[in-house]
Structure 1
């Protein structure tokens, strides 16, 4: 709805004196933009403008006095006999928020508030108006004059209770199994001969996996594992790893998954930090160097020992500890209870239709919490879990072949990983059995999915974006992706799952109304037990909600609620960088790049070519060109950016890549991004060199120099095939894949073809 200022003015609330409604409007606009200190511009058309700046510790009385001076200054050019329309808009670091118009009536007539310019939804106009009215009452109340402006709530306590209720998911049954292992045991008894896990070596049936876990569990208990002890699992993705996880849970202990590629120093820190009692691994020598006993996960035919009932524990006991990166560089362990995982499965299985006919992939590292969802979401609902080998995981063409061969129906991906599959499918559609793709682990650029939906409509394969955090058990919300949301580049991550709750809060944890930007807070069944041996950090991040009293987790993510209870994810609160005095949101630059048709994926980082001198800091952009968008033209993209962004936000370099480097968890690996390259500096000497360079650029999405090595630039078998196909279609029908392996630079390849002809 486009808010009409005239009609809003007529329906506006009369207030007096006029400077108080301006003070309330300025504060409301600032709060809706998520600001702490007030940074707002008040302008009278093109005549006059003032910057209103007030620290959050300013007293209410002092703030009102300052606004009176601003009012007199900004309205001075206006004739008292005509209306004065003042535009109130947020500026500074947090300028993304709605604006308001404060209209002073002629000759001292009533002052009214209406929506600012642009398309402003009616619900947002209503919320803003309500906040202005509430703030004006507090600003003029003598009891508040010596309080600070940060003390002023946007709404009263009844309204805050309404905001908490808005973000609460449906009720979830409290009738849960005694633990993850108990739920798996029940499934194994229902479908004992169904295949539970497929890995490159074998198929393992449910009854076999259960017995295997009992066998390992006997060794664990013999080595001293018991209820509450912490057991490391240092294994590659395999059926043995899942048997080991189940064995730890069956023994009453807590599993601590460890990626086998973790450096020794970090492994030693994790072992000390959470007090590992022993480790399930085949790398016994590495574990013994830590002074810990090691237990093998191999099937040795041991007779499983009986498990005492007192060891089994219950759903409230901790199930696992996953370490996440800390802002100080010190990893922190997040401890999660059985009930949280069981609740996650119970909350999603009905709406997603999980069952025995589903085939899932286990794609992610066991130390990444996305794997908790992949493993237990599949096995606790009777599905078959396909282990993705590391070599296949890093080769998109081989991974797609695995999806087709295994008839995978449920795929879980980070957006960065999924875009590689999008590129393949857009070039050549294959027969896939996919019915559901779940995104998680990082922010999804919804607009980028338009190409996938053009190949596989939502009626054939559902796309669901799920927001979540390790500290809230993988997932919190779910948003089905439709063509309408893609066209709108929606940031919605959907409403809370059954049993979960979300709200957006200010710096004092007060719930904010829909439309106001603040920190995302999560409550409900998924909230973790806390950080291991980090009492102070746990107390700071896991707090009591001041309205409902329930325990909530403060995520550090920025968001805002929508009136239907859905949540918009707006990035991290600390995602901004400062460059030569300007605060720059890297996500905004990335979004502008992704809006261009020739860009498939993008990343923007701060480059520091001279680390000791910040004057040389710059913005470096990396892009994966869309394969069907024609030859890559960096200068055209740069001109498009300059037409959209202020000059200090236009990247200094623009480097095309064949694919974004990803971490073991499928997220963007910033450290693996290559140094920005200036591009081609030598012109081709003949037609053959020109033809090879053109095909090279088109196939790899990268402007290469004549002596650039294909494989040094990140080339792989998929890109090699694409390059040879492009060469054949461009007049070199004899081009073979072996040519590129023997002649790895454009100069050598061109010389080979010139000699051959």
Structure 2
């Protein structure tokens, strides 16, 4: 298989009558899904979408959203996720920056149809352009190819015993690349993909009931959402249909996994930590959490070994590999490494580097290895954080704060709550008169997605500076004392 389109075609050939996609109310078999996707793809072609173009998808969560993604790929174009809940200014920037040839919205979706000859798609063609937080105040687009995703599927799927009898939950927003794995691991194995309803996706306490009702067997979740789900489980226990719980996007909360087991999770459930990066196509390492992992007291999260198509070296600030047990930055290489950042050659050259003829991505993530070669995640080496699985650049939030009326300067840090989850904190210098925190938050919500708005906004008389006059981020949290 060279392309994602071929993955879907193969499953349709093998399992035409099996359920491919459902939201509970609507059910599509693989044959029905493929036919519907073809009609929508031809509608896009007749509307002028050509191979190599970028097409925005601004549909709400649901079956149509998935159909739109598949249709764009059938055209030989790349999809650009546009979450309708994001501020209009941010969506407009992404549409302009990506130079989209079309934007799919609810208006006119039903009439989007046609018959035509679809173009040939190659593995080197872009599959999606995913915009992540940027340190300059504007999000940046990462270009990922069919080859990148197919390499992940080819090398990661054999590590598990997924089958056509599995039921996967599509829990994540298409703006979060874990959704790529959820969709294509299901479609490549002939399994059923269940779209989690919008009202459940934003309310983790409702998730346990949905999993039982839909008889989900493979669940992917950000650890912080998993914890909220587990904390809310009171009456009924975990879904008896579960076979796998796969974590990604954040360090695993081992206490929540233990609590989930104690509340009646099937003994056969496997818990797998999948460390990953958007620029390396969703997942990079894997580790099935053992009993020792779940009862251990290591301060660092075990992320295991690289997937078969990837490699990781741990290096110091000069790019030299460090010794076993020492902490350094993870440099990632392999077939999952993305093409780079859309229209950002300088940033691409800075983050995607060639060493001894091999292209690497400098992750910015710190790790160490043990004697067995397993990796343990330590943290970040820059001003980037993970909040609810989403990447957040401190610089982008600070940029938005600087545009708020009444704020003369700001810095952003991260703190951990009682459960170890990251929370953003904004330290703000007031201008002539200190603004109301509610007004600050309301103005931020017009410029930033909700997950990038600090949970705490604190006004201070000064920001700590280093001897060189730069912001001393290591001392930010001292301001709270």
Q: Same fold (TM over 0.5)?
A: yes
Structure 2: how far apart are the matches of 1:213 and 1:605? 40
Comparing 326-335 with 425-434, which one deviates more in the overlay? 425-434
Comparing 532-541 with 251-260, which one deviates more in the overlay? 251-260
Shift in Å, 1:457:
6.0
> 1:696-730, CA deviations, whole angstroms, 9 ceiling, x for partnerless residues?
xxxxxxxxxxxxxxxxxxxxxxxxxxxxxxxxxxx
Shift in Å, 1:425:
3.6
Does 2:133 match 1:325?
yes
Out of 285, 304, 309, the position equivalent to 1:499 is: 309
Task: Tell me if the contact between 1:348 and 1:497 (Cα under 8 Å) persists in the aligned partners.
Answer: yes
> 1:436-462, CA deviations, whole angstroms, 9 ceiling, x for partnerless residues?
011111222334422223234684211
Shift in Å, 1:387:
0.8
Shift in Å, 1:467:
0.6
Shift in Å, 1:674:
6.5
> 1:653-688, CA deviations, whole angstroms, 9 ceiling, x for partnerless residues?
xxxxxxxxxx9xxx9946363679xxxxxxxxxxxx
> 1:265-321, CA deviations, whole angstroms, 9 ceiling, x for partnerless residues?
1111111111101112214xxxxxxxxxxxx44376x452122xxx31311211110
Distance change (3 Å), C-alpha of 1:605 and 1:392: closer
Task: Tell me if the contact between 2:164 and 2:191 (Cα under 8 Å) persists in the aligned partners.
Answer: yes
| Residue of structure 1 equivalent to 2:84 | 260
Out of 273, 296, 314, the position equivalent to 1:465 is: 273
Task: Tell me if the contact between 2:413 and 2:424 (Cα under 8 Å) persists in the aligned partners.
Answer: no
Task: Tell me if the contact between 1:450 and 1:483 (Cα under 8 Å) persists in the aligned partners.
Answer: no
What SS does structure 2 have at the residue aligned with 1:380? helix
What SS does structure 1 have at the residue aligned with 2:101? strand
Structure 1: how far apart are the matches of 2:158 and 2:170? 21
Out of 179, 201, 211, the position equivalent to 1:393 is: 201
Structure richer in helix, relative to its length? 1
What SS does structure 2 have at the residue aligned with 1:315? coil
Task: Tell me if the contact between 1:336 and 1:473 (Cα under 8 Å) persists in the aligned partners.
Answer: yes
| Residue of structure 2 equivalent to 1:17 | none
Structure 2: how far apart are the matches of 1:404 and 1:673? 32
| Residue of structure 1 equivalent to 2:325 | 515
| Residue of structure 1 equivalent to 2:105 | 281
Q: Quick one: higher RCO (CA 8 Å, sep 6+), 1 or 2?
A: 2
| Residue of structure 1 equivalent to 2:26 | 202
Shift in Å, 1:370:
1.1
Distance change (3 Å), C-alpha of 1:226 and 1:586: closer
Shift in Å, 1:424:
3.2
| Residue of structure 1 equivalent to 2:343 | 533
* Pairing 1:173-252 to 2, within 5 Å after superposition: 177-252=1-76
Task: Tell me if the contact between 1:519 and 1:555 (Cα under 8 Å) persists in the aligned partners.
Answer: yes
What SS does structure 2 have at the residue aligned with 1:249? helix
What SS does structure 2 have at the residue aligned with 1:376? helix
Distance change (3 Å), C-alpha of 1:352 and 1:668: farther
Structure 1: how far apart are the matches of 2:98 and 2:346? 16
Deviation >4 Å, runs of 4+:
584-587, 601-607
| Residue of structure 2 equivalent to 1:356 | 164
Structure 2: how far apart are the matches of 1:668 and 1:429? 31
| Residue of structure 1 equivalent to 2:455 | 673
What SS does structure 2 have at the residue aligned with 1:478? strand
Structure 2: how far apart are the matches of 1:248 and 1:576? 31
> 1:190-219, CA deviations, whole angstroms, 9 ceiling, x for partnerless residues?
111111111143101111111111111111
Structure 2: how far apart are the matches of 1:331 and 1:217? 28
Does 2:253 match 1:445?
yes
Structure richer in strand, relative to its length? 2
Distance change (3 Å), C-alpha of 1:312 and 1:418: same
Out of 384, 394, 399, the position equivalent to 2:192 is: 384
What SS does structure 1 have at the residue aligned with 2:180? helix
Over aligned residues, Cα RMSD in angstroms?
2.7
Shift in Å, 1:399:
2.0
Distance change (3 Å), C-alpha of 1:305 and 1:489: farther
Task: Tell me if the contact between 2:413 and 2:425 (Cα under 8 Å) persists in the aligned partners.
Answer: no
Structure 1: how far apart are the matches of 2:137 and 2:125? 29
Shift in Å, 1:586:
5.9
Distance change (3 Å), C-alpha of 1:432 and 1:312: same
Structure 2: tracts of 5 or more residues without a match: 386-411, 432-444, 459-481
Does 2:223 match 1:415?
yes
Distance change (3 Å), C-alpha of 1:462 and 1:200: same
Shift in Å, 1:327:
1.4
What SS does structure 2 have at the residue aligned with 1:519? strand
Structure 1: tracts of 5 or more residues without a match: 1-176, 284-295, 578-583, 595-600, 614-662, 677-757
Distance change (3 Å), C-alpha of 1:444 and 1:278: same
The number of residue pairs the alignment matches comes to 415
Does 2:115 match 1:304?
yes
What SS does structure 2 have at the residue aligned with 1:259? coil
Distance change (3 Å), C-alpha of 1:199 and 1:448: closer
* Pairing 1:569-648 to 2, within 5 Å after superposition: 569-574=377-382, 593-594=418-419, 602-603=421-422, 606=425, 608=427, 611-612=429-430
| Residue of structure 1 equivalent to 2:183 | 375
TM-score if structure 1 supplies the norm length?
0.52
